[in-house]
Each structure stands twice: as C-alpha cells, then as structure tokens.
Amino acid sequence: MAALLGFIKKPEVKEYIQGYHSNGDAMMYDDIYSVLRKAGSLRMVDAVCCGKVKQPALHFIKTKSCPKMIPMQCTHAIIPHVPCPFCGADKRLEILEVMTHEFGEEEVKVIIWMDARRQGQKEEGTYNTQRELQLDLLTINVLLERFRALLSVCITHCQEIRWVRLMIKLDFAQLKPNTLLIFTDFAAVMAL
C-alpha cells in the first residue's frame, strides 16, 4: 500500500486521477488517498466492503451495544462463486483500473518479501535462503495485480480475525464469577 500511496501522490498521477468520475459507488482520489495514508489493512477492507451491519444473534452482552460486522456474503461469498453485487475491489477500486491504462508500464519502487541467499547449500545443491523484505522495481500493472490478489486474501482474514475477537469477548462475558482463567501459549496465539 505504501508503494501505491507514493505513486498516487505524484502530481501528474494525482491530476489524472482527480479528473476521473465514477458512475457507481467507487472511491475517488481523496477517498483512496485517505485509506492508503493510514496504511492499515483493516481500513482498506472497510473501504472496499459493504458497511457493517448489526448482528442481533451475537448480542449476548446486553450492557454493550449490538456487535456489528461486515456481511459474510461480502467477505466469504456464502453463495459459492457469487460475490457481493454491491462491493469488492473491482467495484470500489475501479480507479486503479484507470491507473493501469494510463500508467501501467511505469515502474515504482516497492518493498516486498523475497528469498535472500544465505551461507551454505542444501544436499541437492541449492543455496540456503531466508525470506526478507527487499527493494524491487515493479510496473504499476504488476503491482496492482499483486495488490488485488493480496486484498482478496486480506478481506477474508480480517473478517475471521474480527470474528475470533468477538467470540473471545463473548466467552469472557459468559464466565461465571470467581472463575480462574489460565492462558497457555496456544490460547495466546488466538489473541494475536
């Protein structure tokens, strides 16, 4: 997301994108700039998915407001191979498609995870490697293709993380008074 932010801040890109107007509910320059500037995957998921709706079936803690979540059809396509007709990266981020037509072959610096060669060799003769963040050059077309692919994975993961956090809160709320709760390493992983 940082590479995209740096790219859309260029004066010629900003001017070109600000001249674009969507017929639908797509994000415009100011919207996408504000989401990319905060550099958070949860913010991006919230920006491309439908708004959160109340979940009365999960309202067990009556002293607190009813929990809200993004509808499951938006994040997990409950009806197989039928994405939400109102949201998604293709509909909300159509401005990125506009960028590929005008600036698709322009290269930008990105920091991505790559295999870095390390000392020593394996038995089959290949070198030992380790995953590290490294600088690389990608065209806008390749960058946006990778961004879309990772965003689709991120959307489901963020929804599942929110679900687990809500379940943890509900479990805590239903504990009997004077209950001793012991966390082990395995339980602590769920809170991460």
Ranges under pLDDT 50 in the chain:
192
pLDDT in the model for residue 139: 93
pLDDT in the model for residue 185: 67
- Residue 174 CB-half CA count within 13 A: 9
pLDDT in the model for residue 190: 55
Q: Using DSSP bridges, classify how beta strands 68-69 and 53-54 pair: parallel, antiparallel or unpaired.
A: antiparallel
Rg of the chain's alpha carbons, rounded to an integer? 21
pLDDT in the model for residue 51: 86
Measured CA to CA in angstroms, residue 35 lies from 1, 40, 54, 130, 154 at distances of 9, 8, 24, 32, 15
Q: What pTM did the predictor assign?
A: 0.76
CB atoms inside a 10 Å sphere around CB 157 = 12
First and final C-alpha spacing in the chain: 22
pLDDT in the model for residue 78: 74
How many angstroms separate the CA atoms of 60 and 94, rounded? Answer: 39
pLDDT in the model for residue 93: 85
